[in-house]
Chains A and B, each alone.
Chain A
Amino acid sequence: MPGQKFGPAWFPGLIAIGLGACGALLIRSGMRARGALVALPEWIDRPQPRRAVAAVLAGLVFYILLADRLGFHLTGMLVLLLWVRVFGASWRVTVGVAVVATLAIHLAFYKALRVPLPWGLFERFAF
């Protein structure tokens, strides 16, 4: 910024210099250690954890994209169904948990704490 010695660019500039220097030092020590360039986590070879992690990420992205349109109640129940089932519970437990937990969060956040959870499509059934 003109006319100012210590403007808004000062601080991010210092951070950039610091990150650059640290990055260079880490690259140097990494070259010395001679490991592989990219290492995958050990669980990637085991089917159950791989499915479970994928389900977590897919469920969260699904929620972010559709919660405003489908409403919290449907979206929340669907992601719980996905997660509990993929993590290895029986269908009976899965459905029970999805319904009870969604209802509990509705009571705690929507009713007690008055968080405006979106209703989306179900606006006219709001309770």
Chain B
Amino acid sequence: MSVLGQAFALVFDPYVLWIILASAAFGLFVGAIPGLTATMATALLVPVTFFMPPVPAIASIVTATAMAIFAGDIPSCLLRMPGTPASAAYTDEAYAMTKKGQGEVALGASLVFSVIGGLFGTAVLIVAAPALAEIALKFSSFEYFWLVILGLASAVFLTRGNPLKGLVSLLLGLLVAAVGLDNPAGFPRFTFGNAELAGGLTLIPIMIGMFAVSEILRNVAAIDQPWQMAQANIGNVFRGMWTLAKRYPAPVARGSVLGTAIGALPGAGADIAAWMSYAVSKRFSKEPEKFGTGHVEGIIEAGASNNSALAGAWIPALVFGIPGDSITAIVIGVLYVKGLNPGPTIFMTNAASIYAIFLVFILANLLMLPLGVAAIKGAKQLLRAPRTVLMPVILLFCVVGSFAINNTIFGVILMLAFGLIAYAMEENGFPVAPAILGMVLGAMLEENFISSMIKAEGSFLAFFERPIAGGLGVLVLVVASVPLLRRFFRAAI
């Protein structure tokens, strides 16, 4: 049987299809509830996927995140609260449309152009990843070193906050990665004679803490403030979408391309893609004065952008093992557990599984149309789900999930500790994503740095001597100068 045939057989299996459907419902639910994010959906899925074969495990994450990023637009329209951070860029715009009585158009545009963006990103992933893998086979520790640095630099310098605080967050993440025996010298660091620490800190409980427990704390701290739902009459959400597509072809294309590119850049994901696309849309629009008053153009462009970024982020994750965003940062861990070790050779050793993942991407984006309509129709009931019940149940789920990774209570302790740390960080303007990237990439950074230094006998110039390595080094400098450029041009990106 051909590889593609095997891939089809892997995906169109009743068990896998059932998992995809269940994950889709889960993703729509988590995305639509403000405060529950796509990254949190991934972190909560990991303990469950732990016990599945590789393809359904990855399929559930792909489907849930694609649905969650779209569903994040629903509460933007109805509550003026983004369901996930990727919708924050155009939340005010979407809510203004609902206030003008155009909620149906806003939700329809979110859905349709999310699907188009997602499919575009998937197409690029399918074409670009294997091609890039051919080139990546020639990479040495110097190139990998720069790729890791590029990912870390993007996470720090492309966020909207203070880059200095991003850098602190990154360094703390690297420090966490340094704990344990797993370093080039095999020397125990920061273990204090504790056996749990010698093995290094397990990432999944940490991520459940940082992305789920901290969000629950934030929700609980606002438990006395009820959500205010805007009135919206929602009939056929597809009405008028064809006219919109004909009227705004350039924003759709631009959003999809920019989103995929930002996603593919290591370290920057859907959140940043949406902000950038919204700003770009406003700058190139024929009617920029309408932005902010309930104008659909920015929603189309940024909505396509965040869903395309999701697929784009898988390119560096699969080819280099370097996450494109915080979701793929978690996914990489799952890939290793499932024996699908990321790297340029994955397209030869595990071709059928990889093509199966590509198929799931296509399937998930197509499924988004019918399920998205259902989610929009049921949104009012969904958003009435009482937080008094929801938050405790999710919290106990987090506890059990953190426990299930190593079957020790130490996981729950890690979850609580990092949940509190992440809550304190975000309340004080320190972004969490750079810390996660630092934890995931710390070992890889150190390993490639030390082996490059040993090869180069301590000469820093060697890092610029190979052409691709030098090019990547220059790209890092460009990314690092973004905050300066931003100040110079006073752009709203």
Residue ranges of A at the interface with B (Cβ–Cβ < 8 Å)? 1, 4-8, 10-12, 15, 18-19, 22-23, 25-26, 29, 41, 43, 46, 48-49, 52-53, 56-57, 59-61, 63-64, 67-68, 72, 76, 79-80, 83-84, 87-89, 93, 97, 101-102, 105, 108-109, 113-117
Q: Would you list 15 pairs from A and B whose C-beta atoms are within 8 A, ordered by A residue?
A: A11-B178, A12-B178, A12-B190, A15-B174, A19-B171, A22-B167, A22-B171, A26-B164, A52-B220, A53-B220, A60-B395, A97-B392, A114-B51, A115-B403, A117-B403
Interface residues on B, range: 35 or more
Does B222 have its Cβ within 8 Å of any Cβ on chain A? yes
The CA-CA distance from A43 to B407 in the complex, in Å, is 35
Minimum Cβ distance to chain A for residue B453 (Å) = 5
- B400 adjacent to A88 (CB under 8 Å): no
B51 to chain A, nearest CB (A): 5
Q: Is the CB of B164 within 8 A of A25?
A: yes
A117→B403 CA distance, assembly (Å):
8
| CB-based closest 3 A-B pairs | A83-B392, A8-B187, A87-B388
Can you add 7 more A-B contacts, CB < 8 Å, to A41-B221, A101-B393, A117-B403? A10-B450, A22-B168, A79-B392, A80-B396, A89-B389, A97-B389, A115-B400
B412 near A: Cβ within 8 Å?
yes
Q: Which residues of A contact B386 (CB under 8 A)?
A: 89
Task: State how many angstroms separate the Cβ of A33 from the closest Cβ of chain B.
Answer: 12
Residues of A with C-beta under 8 A to B389: 84, 89, 93, 97
As a 0/1 sequence over residues 387 to 413 of chain B, the CB contacts with chain A under 8 angstroms (1 = contact) are 111011101110110011001010011
Q: How far is the CB of B32 from chain A (nearest CB, A)?
A: 20
B454 proximal to A (CB < 8 A): yes
- The complex places the Cα of A23 from the Cα of B172 at a distance, in Å, of 12
Inside 8 A of A19's CB, which chain B residues have their CB? 168, 171-172, 175
B392 touches A8 (CB 8 A): no
Chain A CB within 8 A of B436 CB: no
Interface positions, chain B 152-176, Cβ under 8 Å from A, are 164-165, 167-168, 171-172, 174-175
User: Do A109 and B165 touch across chains, with their CB atoms under 8 A apart?
Assistant: no
Cβ B396 vs Cβ A105 within 8 A:
yes
CA distance A116 to B407 in the complex (A): 7
Contact residue among A4, A87, A105, A115 (Cβ-Cβ distance under 8 Å from B397): A105
Is there contact, CB below 8 Å, between B404 and A15?
Answer: no
Q: Could you tell me if A6 and B453 are in contact, using CB atoms closer than 8 angstroms?
A: yes
A76-B453 in contact (CB<8A) = no
A12 touches which of B51, B175, B403, B404 (Cβ 8 Å): B175
CA A7 to CA B184, docked complex, whole Å: 8
Question: How far is it, in angstroms, between the C-alpha of A12 and the C-alpha of B450 when the chains are bound?
Answer: 13
Does B370 sit at the interface, judged by CB under 8 A? no
Residue of B nearest to A12 (CB): B178
B359 within 8 Å of A (CB atoms)? no
In contact, A15 and B222 (Cβ under 8 angstroms): no
Cα A15 to Cα B175 in complex, Å, equals: 7
Min CB–CB distance A12 → chain B (angstroms): 5
- Bound complex: CA of A93 vs CA of B99, how far in Å? 35
A-chain residues with CB within 8 Å of residue B224 when the two chains form the complex: 46, 48-49
Tell me if B400 and A52 are in contact (CB < 8 A).
no
| B392 & A12 in contact (Cβ 8 Å cutoff) | no
B337 contacts the other chain (Cβ, under 8 Å)? no
Is the Cβ of A64 less than 8 Å from the Cβ of B413?
A: yes
Which chain B residues border A59 with CB–CB below 8 Å?
Answer: 395
Residue of A nearest to B386 (CB): A89
Q: Are A26 and B407 in contact (CB-based, < 8 A)?
A: no
Distance in angstroms between the alpha carbons of A5 and B386 in the assembled complex? 59
Is the Cβ of A56 less than 8 Å from the Cβ of B387? no
Question: Nearest B residue to A112 by beta-carbon distance?
Answer: B51
Tell me if B221 and A52 are in contact (CB < 8 A): yes
Cα distance, A29 to B429, chains bound together (Å): 14
In the bound complex, how far is the Cα of B396 from the Cα of A8, in angstroms? 38
Q: Given the complex, which residues of B lie within 8 Å of A67, measured CB to CB?
A: 409, 412
With contacts A64-B409, A84-B389, A93-B389 known, is A56 near B217, CB below 8 A? yes
Residue B189 lies at the interface, judged by CB distance under 8 Å to chain A: yes
Distance, CA A67 to CA B296, complexed state (A): 52
Q: How far is the CA of A102 from the CA of B397 in the complex (A)?
A: 9
CB neighbours of B189 from chain A (8 A) = 8, 12
Nearest Cβ on chain B to A21's Cβ, whole angstroms: 9
